[in-house]
Amino acid sequence: MISKTSTFLAGAALALALTSSAFAARTDLTLAIQLEPPHLDPTAGAAGAIDDIVYQNIFQGLTRIGPDGAVLPSLAESWSVSDDGLTYTFKLHDGVTFHDGTSLDAGDVVFSLDRARADDSTNAQKALFSAIASAEAVDDLTVKVTLSRPQGSFLYNMGWGDAVIVAPESADTNKEKPVGTGPFKFVDWAQGSSATLEKNADYWGEPVALDKVTYRFISDPAAATAALLAGDIQAFPSFPAPEAVAQFEGDPRFSVVIGSTEGETILSTNNGKEPFSDLKVRQAIAHALDRQAIIDGAMFGFGTPIGTHFAPHNPAYVELVETYPYDPEKSKALLAEAGYPDGFKATLKLPPPAYARRGGEIVAAQLREVGIDLEIIPVEWAQWLDQVFKQKDYDLTIISHTEPNDIGIYARDDYYFDYHSDAFKQVMAELDATADEDKRYELLRQAQEIIAKDAVNGYLFELPKLGIWDAKLEGLWHNLPVQSNDLSKVHWTD
Amino acid sequence: MLSYALRRIVIVVITLLAASVVVFAVLEIVPGDPARLMLGINATDDAVAALRQQMGLDQPLVLRYFAWIGGMLSGDFGRSYTYSVPVIDLIRERLVVSLPLALMALALSTAIAIPVGVFSAARRGTAADTGVMAATQLGIAIPNFWFAILLVYVFAIALRLVPAGGFPGWEAGIGKALAALILPAIALALPQAAILARVTRSALLDVLGEDYIRTARAKGLPARLVLRRHALRNALIPVLTILGLQFAFLLAGTIIIENVFYLPGLGRLGFQAITQRDLIVVESVVVLLVATVVIVNFLVDLAYAWADPRLRRR
């Protein structure tokens, strides 16, 4: 009898133990991204998929960009800027170690900055470092960076994935085996299939809730939908199939969060080529575009109309959609004034993403209404970069410019828009030399207005971030002010 | 038989060499700079130039061709531009997915098609025959990617019997790995099975009209034995031809199916490599596929000779 009771009690205790452990929150996560990165070194490639995995999870910079786009301290716990805006002194966190056990010191920061701006550097955003004249270690935890000219965006630039701090010991092998300072350590990359990270037990900052994270690479929109529905993955932070979102919105198992990105989707126009060099022709194109119809058709209603090259969630954004409102009659009148009463023929080169291919069909239909007859030419990415971007061999194309705060490209003389405006360049030069935030916002507003009035490109919509994940999962970013899947705050609620 | 095999081998080698030249030449003239593709639209020209030099893209074309072919012969396929790991390792990792998948599909389609074809031929003109033929027509008409999605909705989402895609790796256990491959294998196999069943049926019907079949029947051999012993073996030649061609189709079909099921196979590697202009990987994968097809055809030729001794003299 006694033995029976004790067996019963032991059983009850076991059952209790099992139920309580079943109630402990999950600590693993499998999420998916659409494209597989070519490698895992964010300082040597432009692929957004690299930052999707490593930025702020494995690698960290002096500063970081927060979920709302603000510049926050990261490896540098504080900094000071000289009055002339030329000297930045960063104070590093004490006790930071890389995943291979070596400790972070000022020498690593100097190494990383020098490496990124060296002659043989293959950093995809080398321009971020162009203002740096020298970087030196004052002591183990203090770095002094001297600029050759004031650069108002310098702290922001240092928060990009391309500006993360790497160690000289591991810099050359980061492509295959990334070694950083972040809350997660790299475990394994099964090429073509998945990448796995695990919690860094020696992390210098606030410990993370997840023990193990697996990234799957799923490019096919139908497969992405199926993987979520089957429960193979628990999150798709940038879901590639807007057509399937409605099906998740009605399902209580999932959270659907529609946010914004830094992707200005535009009808890029070759301003250096006839007839697009004529402002009236560009204005006519702008008047012929019905943005909402494009958003509905290409993105199934997801996306915010824009009237300039700037993200609507940015505090300096100006609403300029009504600069040239949809008005086919006015468009035809402008074409006639420009000497094309019967319209003209041109080409529209479309890269592979669905927003471009689907959007292109609608843009072509809308321009045909006013007499502009577009021949659609689908191109691959590599062809697009070669023909459109490098050789400027195009009339019109549709592309999303996903780099954050990239309005400065309109000041580049050799850029593929072939747009040249002294007024714009002057505003940009002034912006570069300005650190005061209110003054910067004012200059950014002026810049947005100049390119909107010049109708440099057809401004269509801001690319949305379609986030779909398990309803019990919290802490993923809603917006995408910078390419990242920051997992430091992600946790399960049950 | 030996000289027949030798002649075939010479043809195989010449075909492969010609294919390698064509593949290399075509890919090198396709527009697109791999270095610019990797660094994106914000990269400065000197960063792109530095990367081109690192990748060896500044070397002359002919030199690169011979370096590639020479390396391949000694088992060194070069290094992937994008992954920067040896191409041979990439291909080996992918083959352990694609090869079992293609073989599973081939086995499945043969296992379904031959009995179905025999069944149908033996009942020529009956309702059962008409039914089977209608079903195979449907099987040919359905695109395999659509069928794949249908399979996923039924078996992965509704019934949750198998994952919707992905591959856990053979190290996760043979059961899990096979579970991940079963739906893709079925999706690949069914359209092929439909074709093969029709070919088996019509080949058998041709043979069943021959005089020696009548003789076999006349001497009182049961219908089942006539079919198995006399008819089927002689009907195998067209079936073998189709099987050989199908293996090539299965390998090509994996490009689509591996994308639908996000399997880390050779087809997906080739597809990704083309879009990323990872030329050395594309070149190696394509030449490998060509080699596989050529060698399979070579084996089919040998099998003909085995099935039909008259062919050996040609």
SS3 sequence of chain B: CHHHHHHHHHHHHHHHHHHHHHHHHHHHHCCCCHHHHHHCCCCCHHHHHHHHHHHCCCCCHHHHHHHHHHHHHCCCCCECCCCCCEHHHHHHHHHHHHHHHHHHHHHHHHHHHHHHHHHHHHCCCCHHHHHHHHHHHHHHHCCHHHHHHHHHHHHHHHCCCCCCCCCCCHHHCHHHHHHHHHHHHHHHHHHHHHHHHHHHHHHHHHHHCCHHHHHHHHCCCCHHHHHHHHHHHHHHHHHHHHHHHHHHHHHHHHHHHHHHCCCCCHHHHHHHHHHCCCHHHHHHHHHHHHHHHHHHHHHHHHHHHHHCHHHHHC
Q: Are B47 and A39 inside 8 Å of each other by CB?
A: no
Q: What is the pLDDT of residue B82?
A: 76
Q: What is the Cα A492 distance to its own chain's centre?
A: 25
B38 with A191: Cβ contact below 8 A: no
Asked if A222 and B84 come within 8 Å (Cβ–Cβ), the reply is no
Q: Which residues in chain B touch residue A227, judged by CB atoms under 8 angstroms apart?
A: 164-166, 262
Give A96's contacts (C-beta < 8 A, 6+ positions apart): A75, A103, A104, A181, A204
Per-residue confidence (pLDDT) for residue B286, from 0 to 100: 87
Percentage of the residues of chain A whose pLDDT score is greater than 70: 95
User: How many Å apart are CA B236 and CA A101, to the nearest integer?
Assistant: 65
Is residue A233 located within the same domain as residue A366?
Answer: no
Same domain, A185 and A99: no
Q: Pick from A134, A168, A202: which residue ends a domain?
A: A168
Sign of the CA dihedral with A402 first, then A404, A405, and A408 last:
negative
Query: Touching check for B52 and chain A: CB below 8 Å?
Result: no
pLDDT at res. B240 = 83
Predicted pLDDT at B308: 72
CB distance B46–A126 less than 8 Å? yes
The partner residues of A317 in beta bridges, in order of sequence, read: none
In the chain, the amino acid numbered B24 is: F
The residues, ordered by sequence, that sit 6+ positions from A283 with a Cβ below 8 Å of its Cβ are A324, A334, A455
Residue B37 structure tokens: 């593709």
Please give the residue that has the higher pLDDT: either A420 or B216.
A420
Output the furthest CA–CA distance in chain A (Å, rounded): 105
Closest chain A residue by Cα to residue B166: A193
Residues 6+ apart with CB under 8 A from B304: B237, B240, B311
pLDDT for position A3: 46
**Cross-chain residue pair A382–B31, CB shorter than 8 Å:** yes
- The interface residues of chain B toward chain A in range 126-155, judged by CB-CB distance below 8 A, are 149, 152-153
Q: Is the domain of A198 the same as that of A277?
A: no
User: Residue A21: inside a domain, yes or no?
Assistant: no
Residue A395 CB partners (closer than 8 Å, separation 6+): A269, A270, A273, A276, A346, A347, A348, A349
* Contact indicator for A117, A131 with CB cutoff of 8 Å: no
**Given A146, A168, A190, which residue is the final one in a domain?**
A168
Is residue A15 a part of any domain in this protein? no
Q: Looking at the structure, do residues A75 and A116 belong to the same domain, yes or no?
A: yes
> Would the CB atoms of B262 and A217 count as touching at under 8 Å?
yes
Q: Nearest CA of chain B to the CA of A123: how many Å? A: 6
What is the Cα–Cα distance from A49 to A124, expressed in whole angstroms? 14
Range of the domain at A406: 263-463
Q: Which chain A residue's Cα is nearest to B270?
A: A192
All residues of chain B having their beta carbon less than 8 Å from the beta carbon of residue A223 are 152, 164-165, 259-262
Instruction: For residue A191, give how far its alpha carbon lies from the nearest alpha carbon of chain B (Å).
Output: 7
Structural domain includes residue A154: yes
Mean pLDDT for chain A?
91
Cα–Cα distance for residue pair A308/A323, rounded to 1 Å: 9
Give the pLDDT of residue B280: 86
**In tens digits, what is the pLDDT along chain B, a chain of 314 residues?**
677 788 888 988 898 899 889 988 888 777 777 787 777 777 778 888 888 887 778 888 888 888 888 888 888 888 887 777 888 988 888 889 998 998 999 999 999 999 999 899 888 889 999 999 999 999 889 888 889 999 999 999 999 899 988 898 888 889 999 999 999 999 999 988 999 999 999 998 888 888 888 888 888 888 888 887 788 878 888 888 888 888 877 877 788 899 889 999 988 888 888 877 888 888 888 888 888 888 888 888 887 777 777 766 65
Helix (H, G, I), strand (E, B) or coil at A134: strand
Contact A216 B41 (CB under 8 A): no
Contact B266, B69 (CB under 8 A): no
Rounded Cα distance between A415 and A411, Å, is 8
Question: B198: exposed, middle or buried (C-beta count within 10 Å: 0-12, 13-18, 19+)?
Answer: buried
Is A223 in Cβ contact with B157 (below 8 Å)? no
Quote the pLDDT of residue A462: 95
Nearest CA in chain B to A35: B272
B281 neighbors B273 (Cβ within 8 angstroms) = yes
Shortest distance, CA A125 to any CA of chain B (angstroms)? 5
Q: Which residues contact A306 (CB under 8 A, 6 or more apart)?
A: A264, A312, A320, A321, A459, A460, A461, A462
pLDDT tens for A191-225 read 888 999 999 999 999 999 999 999 999 988 889 99
pLDDT band with cut points at 50, 70 and 90 for residue A494: confident
Nearest Cα residue to A160 out of A490, A484, A491 = A484
Distance of CA A440 to the CA centre of its chain: 22
Quick one: A341 and A247 in the same domain? no
CA B296 from centroid of its chain's CA atoms = 10
Say how far apart CA B167 and CA B170 lie, in whole Å. 8
**pLDDT tops 70 at residue A413:** yes
pLDDT tens column, A292-312: 999 999 999 999 999 999 999
Q: In total, how many domains does chain A have?
A: 3
Other Cβ atoms less than 10 A from the Cβ of B109: the count is 25
Q: Is B43 on the interface with A (CB under 8 A)?
A: yes
Rounded Cα gap, residues A313 and A317, in angstroms = 7
CATH of the domain at A280: 3.10.105.10
Indicate whether A144 and A192 sit together in one domain.
no
What pLDDT was estimated at residue B12? 87
Is A184's pLDDT higher than 90?
A: yes
Q: Judge: B157–A386 Cβ closer than 8 Å, yes or no.
A: no
pLDDT > 90 in chain B, percent: 22
Instruction: Say yes or no for a CB contact (<8 Å) between A383 and B259.
Output: no
Question: Using a CB-CB distance cutoff of 8 angstroms, which residues of chain B are in contact with residue A232?
Answer: 156, 163-166
Q: Which of B28, B83, B150, B257 should be substituted to probe chain A, the one whose Cβ sees the most A Cβ atoms within 10 Å?
A: B83
**Gap from A5 CA to chain B (nearest CA, Å):** 41
| Residue of B137, B134, B148, B136 lying closest to B263 (CA atoms) | B148
Mutate to test the interface with A, among B27, B37, B41, B154 (most CBs of A within 10 A): B41
CA distance A427 to B200: 76
pLDDT value at A341 more than 50: yes
Q: Which residue of chain A is at minimal alpha-carbon distance from B169? A: A190
Among B83, B160, B274, whose Cβ lies nearest the Cβ of A191?
Answer: B83
Last residue of a domain, one of A105, A140, A168: A168
| Contact criterion met (CB < 8 Å) for A219 and B276 | no
Residues A216, A87: one domain?
no
- CB–CB of A382 and B83 under 8 A? no
Using DSSP, state whether A466 is helix, strand or coil.
Answer: strand
> Exposure pattern of A219-250 as b/e (b: 16+ CB <10 Å)?
bbbbbbbbbbbbebbbbbbbbbbbebbeebee
* Together in a domain, A398 and A420: yes
Chain B residues with CB under 8 Å of A47 CB are 38, 40
Q: What is the model's pLDDT at position B217?
A: 84
Do residue A138 and residue A182 come from a single domain? no
Residues A417 and A269 in one domain: yes
Q: Does B284 touch chain A (CB under 8 A)?
A: no
Q: Using 50, 70 and 90 to split pLDDT, how confident is the model at A13?
A: very low
What is the pLDDT at residue B1? Answer: 64
Residues of A with CB below 8 A from B160's CB?
Answer: 230-231
Contact of B85 with chain A, judged by CB distance below 8 Å, is answered with yes
Residues A181 and A231 in one domain: yes
Q: Evaluate whether residue A71 is within a structural domain.
A: yes
What φ, ψ does residue A366 adopt, rounded to 5°? -70, -40
User: How do residues A31-86 score in pLDDT, each as one tens digit?
Assistant: 999 888 888 999 988 778 899 999 999 999 999 999 888 899 999 999 999 988 89
CATH of the domain spanning B89-276: 1.10.3720.10
Closest to A194 (Cα-Cα) out of B181, B93, B256: B93
Q: Two tokens at B174?
A: 């043979």
Reported ipTM: 0.76
Instruction: Give yes or no: residues A214 and A295 share one domain.
Output: no
Structure confidence at residue A290 (pLDDT)? 96
Residue scoring higher pLDDT (A19 or B84): B84
A vs B: CB pairs below 8 A: 152
pLDDT at B293: 84
What is the pLDDT averaged over residues A228-238?
Answer: 94
Chain B nearest-CA residue for A384: B32
Cis omega before residue A275 (within 30°)? yes
Q: Residue A254: what pLDDT?
A: 96
Strands A142-147 vs A63-65: parallel, antiparallel or unpaired: unpaired
The helix/strand/coil state of A82 is coil
Query: From residue A306, how far is each of A303, A399, A484 by CA, in Å?
Result: 9, 14, 23
Name the residue ranges covered by the structural domains of chain B: 2-73, 89-276
Residue of B nearest to A352 (CA): B275
Q: Alpha-carbon distance A316 to A310, whole Å?
A: 9
Return the pLDDT at A124.
87
Residue A16 reports pLDDT greater than 50: no
Residue in A30, A73, A68 with CA at minimum distance from that of residue A232? A30
- Tell me which residues of chain B, numbers 157 to 216, contact chain A at a CB-CB cutoff of 8 Å: 157, 160, 163-167, 169
CB atoms within 10 A of CB B74: 7
Number of neighbours of residue B112 by Cβ within 10 angstroms? 19
What's at A147, amino acid-wise? Answer: L
Per-residue pLDDT of A236-258, as tens digits, reads 999 999 999 999 999 999 999 99
Query: Could you tell me which residues are beta bridge partners of residue A397?
Result: A268, A349
Nearest-Cα distance to chain A for B291, in Å, is: 23
Q: How far is A338 from chain B (nearest CA, A)?
A: 32
Assess if residue A23 is contained within a domain.
no
Count the residues in chain B: 314
In this complex, which of B32, B44, B85 lies closest to A386 when CB atoms are compared? B32
Q: Which of B36, B94, B278 lies at the smallest CB-CB distance from A390?
A: B36
Mean pLDDT along residues A415-426: 95
- Return the CATH number at A215: 3.40.190.10
Taking the Cβ of residue B37 and every Cβ of chain A, the question of whether any pair is shorter than 8 Å is answered with: yes
Residues of B in contact with A382 (CB under 8 A): 30-34, 37, 275-277
Contact B259 A223 (CB under 8 A): yes
Asked if A218 and B262 come within 8 Å (Cβ–Cβ), the reply is: yes
